[in-house]
């Protein structure tokens, strides 16, 4: 590792670390609900190659949904493996273990430990016509019936104009964490552009030689009576889910004959239940990022067969996915870490907020229900504002 020094620092408000750095800098925020910790990185050190992962305590990884990002909406937010000059880590079970890492103490700003005020930006929703969704849905149904496609994950983007003049991310991150204690809360800032969200879906987690991935697909509103049980027994959702399990398993079987597939379960989030199956194997060779590249995009985000579904999305979706539904995560110095998919997410620019959500569509799907499902998924972002 390069010459980072570290010391125990307990901040009553951990986000004071994030606040101490200028907005023009790069920063990232990461809350892991399983490990119950927060890692923040501020002031970019360098973009690194994977072989140099041990240079810093942590690196932050992003990869766009498609190979390239077209247009200017996403600014310079794209594929990256980046390290930072300063990190603050919070162990939510033992505050004595909170640490401040720094490679350049002379550039560390004064950190003022203070409460973060609530922040509710003044936003104007730029109306979107439901008929756009209806057309897309019809095109998908046509493709499912005439081509050999079993599932397509279609997404929507809503645009809100920011009338407040700025966004205050500390407040947004606090609400994302409060509302979504079961989700990975992340934010990646590059100047005026911030991609953030609260994702429940692990693409791949590496712990030593153990590689684990979630098949997370199939959704029901919590507003429905007995939703969890209904979801477990619902044939359309089971089909959507099994396509994901099968695809991840097949990819894992190429590496090892022994793939563990857990029992299907429901996961409760703030507004919805999802179906989840965990798949894991032992792999001595491939890195966390290599696994992310191998698995992305699973049929929970793209569709099946992969190539045809992606081709359809590229042609028919009107917006640029950018980092939405794409791999994004934290790699530790020893190569372990977690890469999630950037769903329940939004891109913030100084003027606009673009929120994304999608849903898996199979031939049994209903246009209106899927539209409502997307609206519900968008709540993760909207409720944090
Ligand atoms: C594509 C999204 O959700 C995926 C993850 C869980 C459940 C899903 C579903 O039931 O359609 C989606 O596959 C999204 O939130 O934008």
Q: Which CATH number fits domain 123-165+207-319+351-382: 3.40.50.620, 3.30.1450.10, 3.60.120.10, 3.40.50.2000?
A: 3.60.120.10
- If pLDDT is split at 50, 70 and 90, which confidence band does 318 have? very high
Q: Cα(301) to centroid of ligand 1, in Å? A: 7
Give the model's pLDDT for residue 147: 80
Average pLDDT, the chain: 96
Does 244 sit in the ligand 1 pocket, CB within 6 Å?
Answer: no
Mean pLDDT over 117-124 rounds to 90
**Rounded percentage of the chain residues whose pLDDT exceeds 90:** 91
Give the model's pLDDT for residue 41: 98
Report the distance separating Cα 25 and Cα 169, nearest Å: 14
In the numeric block, which tokens belong to residue 19?
Answer: 């606040």
- If pLDDT is split at 50, 70 and 90, which confidence band does 148 have? confident
- Catalytic residues, by residue number, are 151, 201
Does 301 sit in the ligand 1 pocket, CB within 6 Å?
Answer: yes
Q: Where are the domains of the chain?
A: 123-165+207-319+351-382
pLDDT in tens, 322-356: 999 999 999 999 999 999 999 999 999 989 999 99
Q: Cα(299) to centroid of ligand 1, in Å? A: 10
pLDDT in tens, 82-101: 999 999 999 999 988 999 99
Q: Is the pLDDT of residue 26 over 90?
A: yes
Please indicate, yes or no, whether the overall pTM of this predicted structure exceeds 0.80: yes
pLDDT in tens, 165-177: 888 999 999 999 9
Q: Is the pLDDT of residue 21 over 80?
A: yes
Residue 27 main-chain phi, psi, to 5 deg: -145, 155
Ligand 1 atom at minimum distance from 344 CA: 15
Does 289 sit in the ligand 1 pocket, CB within 6 Å?
Answer: no
What number of H helices and E strands is found in the chain? 8, 20
- If pLDDT is split at 50, 70 and 90, which confidence band does 24 have? confident
Give the model's pLDDT for residue 377: 98
Sign for the CA dihedral angle at 79, 83, 85, 89 comes to positive
Q: Is the pLDDT of residue 143 over 90?
A: yes
**Rounded percentage of the chain residues whose pLDDT exceeds 70:** 100
**Which of 42, 19, 289 minimizes the C-alpha distance to 168?**
19
What is residue 327's three-state secondary structure? strand
Q: Is the pLDDT of residue 1 over 80?
A: no
Q: Cα(200) to centroid of ligand 1, in Å? A: 10
- If pLDDT is split at 50, 70 and 90, which confidence band does 163 have? very high
Burial of 68 (0-12, 13-18, 19+ CB in 10 A): exposed
Give the model's pLDDT for residue 32: 98
Question: What is the DSSP pairing of strand 210-221 with strand 272-282?
Answer: antiparallel
């Amino acid at each position: 590792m390069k010459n980072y020094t570290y010391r125990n620092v307990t901040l009553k408000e951990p986000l004071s670390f994030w606040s101490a750095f200028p907005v023009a800098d790069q920063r990232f925020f990461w809350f892991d609900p399983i490990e119950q910790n927060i890692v923040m990185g501020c002031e970019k050190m360098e973009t690194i190659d994977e072989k140099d992962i041990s240079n810093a305590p942590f690196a932050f990884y992003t990869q766009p949904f498609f190979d390239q990002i077209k247009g200017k909406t996403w600014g310079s937010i794209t594929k990256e493996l980046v390290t930072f000059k300063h990190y603050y880590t919070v162990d939510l079970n033992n505050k004595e273990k909170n640490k401040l890492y720094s490679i350049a103490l002379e550039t560390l700003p004064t950190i003022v430990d203070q409460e973060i005020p609530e922040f509710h930006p003044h936003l104007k929703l730029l109306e979107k016509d439901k008929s756009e969704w209806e057309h897309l849905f019809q095109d998908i149904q046509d493709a499912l019936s005439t081509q050999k496609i079993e599932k397509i994950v279609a997404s929507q983007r809503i645009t809100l104009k920011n009338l407040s003049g700025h966004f205050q991310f500390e407040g947004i991150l606090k609400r994302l964490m409060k509302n979504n204690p079961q989700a990975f809360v992340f934010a990646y800032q590059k100047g005026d552009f911030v991609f953030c969200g609260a994702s429940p879906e692990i693409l791949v987690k590496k712990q030593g030689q153990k590689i684990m991935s979630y098949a997370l697909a199939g959704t029901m509103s919590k507003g429905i009576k007995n939703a969890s049980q209904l979801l477990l027994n619902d044939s359309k959702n089971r089909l959507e889910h099994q396509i994901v399990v099968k695809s991840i398993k097949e990819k894992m079987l190429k590496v090892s004959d022994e793939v563990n597939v857990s029992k299907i379960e429901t996961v409760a989030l703030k507004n919805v239940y999802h179906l989840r199956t965990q798949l894991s194997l032992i792999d001595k060779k491939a890195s966390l990022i290599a696994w992310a590249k191998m698995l992305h995009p699973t049929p929970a985000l793209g569709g099946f067969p992969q190539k045809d579904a992606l081709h359809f999305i590229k042609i028919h979706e009107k917006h640029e996915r950018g980092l939405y539904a794409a791999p994004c995560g934290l790699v530790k110095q020893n190569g372990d870490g977690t890469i999630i998919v950037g769903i329940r997410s939004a891109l913030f620019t100084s003027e606009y907020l673009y929120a994304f959500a999608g849903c898996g569509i199979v031939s049994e799907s209903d246009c209106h229900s899927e539209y409502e499902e997307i609206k519900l998924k968008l709540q993760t972002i909207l409720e944090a504002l």
